[in-house]
Amino acid sequence: MIIDSEVERKPTAEQNQGVHFSLVADAIAYLRQHQFRQPQLEELASALEVSESHLQRVFSAWAGVSPKRFLQVLTRDAAVTALRDTATVLEASLEAGLSSPARLHDLTIACDAMTPGEIAAAGEGLDLRYGWAPCPFGQMFVAFTERGICSLSFHDEENVTALLELREEWPRARISEDHSQAQQLATRLFTQSLERGRLHLLLRGTNFQVQVWRALVAVGEGELISYRGLASLAGRPGASRAVGSAMARNRIAYLIPCHRVIREDGSWGNYRWGLERKLALRGWESARPQS
């Protein structure tokens, strides 16, 4: 089994953060739009039509820091500096065989790629479970088999589209609900008391895509990498455009951390689950204590 701890029936404080993500996302959008002016709390609260105290309380509970400190994390200069500093870290990672010094939550991410035959079978004979759970980035949709997680995405609210896409991708699989396991996974990933251990991902893609995704797993929490740097890390220097295409095909948010990839000039680029979420992921990781 992927997760074998008992179900936490009472929502944790971290899970309740997801309730406030809509306000936080709006705040991030405004901060990004006006980041060079460095807007103060009074201006931000007025633009969002909420009280300063409410905004400060909700934002700080969600991110662990004030909107002002969060804005500092997201500035272009900070991104460029982080990218430059990360280059040295990644050079060391390359020499160490893609072993990053900063692993996600002390979890070892093990990637199991499907064979071409398994992909062609479209999930025939596969028992696939899925569920929804609240997390700091809205509603998390996750699907998994006995071999590992095969899909993880973020949404503003639960919707049928996520399930329809899952069925399209795995048309011959036996698919069933398992919201309790989804909640356990959300608790494991997004609580402050983080669990050590191994987490398995089941990757469905071409050899090149799998190479890129495995390289992304080596980019540690709090680090950033450029498309060109990721191409080198994946063993395909000069293939930046192809790397971007592989990232667009990634179906496992957060654990295959596309949100840590930015452009050479420090701009944030695109993100499958929305730019505000990309900035939220980046700021949330940078702001909270490292375990």
Minimum mean pLDDT range among 66-70, 80-84, 200-204: 80-84
Query: What are 73-113's pLDDT values in tens digits?
Result: 776 555 666 555 555 545 544 444 434 434 334 557 889 99
Specify whether 258 is catalytic.
Answer: yes
Residue 133 near residue 179, CB atoms below 8 Å:
yes
Query: What are 127-186's pLDDT values in tens digits?
Result: 999 999 999 899 999 999 999 999 999 999 999 999 999 999 999 999 999 999 999 999
**Predicted pLDDT at 170:** 94
**Predicted pLDDT at 79:** 62
**Predicted pLDDT at 72:** 74
In angstroms, the CA 4 to CA 15 distance is: 19
pTM higher than 0.75, yes or no?
yes
In angstroms, the CA 250 to CA 63 distance is: 25
**Predicted pLDDT at 47:** 94
- For 249, other C-beta atoms within 10 Å of its C-beta total 13
Integer angstrom CA distances of residue 182 from 51, 105, 141, 267: 34, 18, 8, 33
Q: What share of the chain in percent tops pLDDT 70? A: 78
- For residue 257, give the nearest of 84, 109, 119 by alpha carbon: 109
The CATH fold assigned to 76-287 is: Arc Repressor Mutant, subunit A (1.10.10)
The catalytic residue among 111, 135, 150, 258 is: 258
Whether the pLDDT of residue 14 is over 70: the answer is no
In angstroms, the CA 150 to CA 251 distance is: 7
